[in-house]
Amino acid sequence: MRQLIAAITADTFLGRASHPNQERADYAPRPLVDALSAAGLLSIILPYNEKADAKDYVSSFDGLVIPGGPNMSPKFYGEEPLWCIGATYEKRDKFEVELIKAAMAAEKPIFGICRGLQVINVALGGSLWQDMQVQCPSITIQHMQKTPVTLATHSIEIEPGSRLHSILGNSCRVNSFHKEGVKKLGEGLAVTARSADGCIEAFESKDNDLITAVQWHPENMAADRKDMAALFAHFAERMERYARRRIVRQ
Ligand code: MN
């Protein structure tokens, strides 16, 4: 079989550019591309396209990665932005929600990372805390860590029997760069990991192998940690399984 292609939805650079080509540049994090490559996958980057139908992109990839990025606009789960929410960018939100639905309809596996977990949750009818520290008194752990992203800072407990448990075991330590968190869980999802203060740190789809998502950034630890690299190998393995199934059907 040909090498499988993982599509990464692009973040748009909205900061001050040091070169004209960087202005509003669409990009993917290099550690993510490297982690997918180490798992044997090719990567393509998908910039949002306001005129495109997300369905038209689906034939160009075997699996979809929704990576980290800014906060999701609360309009997608029916709330107004609270004073404490971070920067939002609705164009990317809308494109990613449409892509997630199109990828699910085409049975292409999805891997959500940090913001990606949150967008998948909202695409499936769930909602988010806009700022857990402000809205949830029970959240006491530092989920927006001050320590570099390559280092783990808090522990997670993993649900026995989940696919995540078969990869990571009962518990492990993860990095953490999120203000937002899952409030209402989306339809068809099962929680697979929580931090000690109860924050949802991972989920997967209940009735199929299409969705896994984690609230931390495994791509930034995968160079040094085999367990984090194994998450990408697991994604590659799911992509291959669904790709073979499509070949059989043809
Ligand atoms: Mn966390």
The residues carrying an active-site annotation are 114, 217, 219
Which tens digit of pLDDT belongs to each residue from 187-239? 999 999 999 999 999 999 999 999 999 999 999 999 999 999 999 999 999 99
C-alpha 71 to ligand 1 mean position (Å): 15
Task: Compute, in angstroms, the gap from residue 10 CA to the centroid of ligand 1.
Answer: 23
Measured in angstroms, how far is the CA atom of residue 161 from the centroid of ligand 1?
Answer: 22
Instruction: Give the global pTM.
Output: 0.97
CB of 231 closer than 8 Å to CB of 219: no
Q: How many A from CA of 177 to the centre of ligand 1?
A: 7
Which residues sit with Cβ closer than 5 angstroms to ligand 1, an ion?
143, 176
Predicted local confidence at residue 8, as pLDDT: 98
Q: Tokens at residue 47, please?
A: 């910039």
Q: How far is the CA of 220 from the centre of ligand 1 (A)?
A: 14
Give 173 Cα–ligand 1 centroid separation in angstroms. Answer: 10
Neighbours of 59 (CB within 10 A): 8
Whole-number pLDDT of residue 107: 97
- CA–CA distance, 116 with 219 (Å, rounded to integer): 13
Give, to the nearest 10 degrees, the angle between helix 90-105 and helix 115-123. 70
Estimate the crossing angle of helix 30-38 against helix 226-249, to 10 degrees. Answer: 70
pLDDT < 70: residue spans in the chain:
none
